[in-house]
Amino acid sequence: MSELLYKEIYPVDKDDFVRAGEASAKIKRTLKQLGVDADKIRRTSVVSYECEINLIIHSLGGQMCLEVTDEEIIVSSSDKGPGIKDISLAMKEGWSTASDSVREMGFGAGMGLPNMKRHCDEFILNSAPGAGTEIVMKIKI
């Protein structure tokens, strides 16, 4: 059994571009304080930032969670909807439903989810239209 060393939850609101990146910044700070290896912090920062921005842009709001055990870093998210219709399409590089105004802010390249999968050791995405989306990403320590 792995031992839970740290757990924190960060609410993330829909369209809250003013606070965008705050949850990821807190996650990064915590990992530094816990003395986690720099490369693991870098990978966790990539996945947590992409995940947070997706909650802001695509979801109706939700939360992120950081758990650190003696074996792994777990970043997860759950949101209130609208869910993802076609997960394999959403996982494709370059596929995005982002609006023009979101693209003008520099998001919407369709690279977030593939990037998240690439930078973690385990990636789980559960989603259904009408329900919400849940993502669990694990990085081994």
Ligand X SMILES: Nc1ncnc2c1ncn2[C@@H]1O[C@H](COP(=O)(O)OP(=O)(O)OP(=O)(O)O)[C@@H](O)[C@H]1O
Nearer to ligand X (CB atom), residue 32 or residue 92: 92
Among the candidate windows 3-11, 15-23, 39-47, 109-117, which touches ligand X by CB under 6 A? 109-117
Residue nearest to ligand X (CB): 112
Crossing angle of helices 38-58 and 22-33, in 10° steps, is 160
Find the angle CA(133)-CA(30)-CA(51) to the nearest 5 degrees. 20
Contact string (CB under 6 A) for ligand X, positions 64-93, x = contact: ---------------x--x-x-----x---
Exactly one of 29, 109, 122, 140 binds ligand X (CB under 6 A); that residue is: 109
Residue 31: exposure state from Cβ atoms within 10 A (0-12, 13-18, ≥19): buried
55 closest CA partner among 104, 121, 116: 116
- Is 112 an interacting residue with respect to Mg ion (CB under 5 A)? yes
Q: Using CB under 5 A, which residues numbered 28 to 57 contact Mg ion?
A: 54
Site for ligand X contains 96 (CB under 6 A): yes
Handedness of CA 96, 99, 104, 106 (dihedral sign): negative
- Residue 23 token pair: 């949850």
| 67, interface contact from ligand X, Mg ion, none, CB < 5-8 Å by kind | none
Q: Name the site residues for Mg ion (rule: CB under 5 A).
A: 54, 112
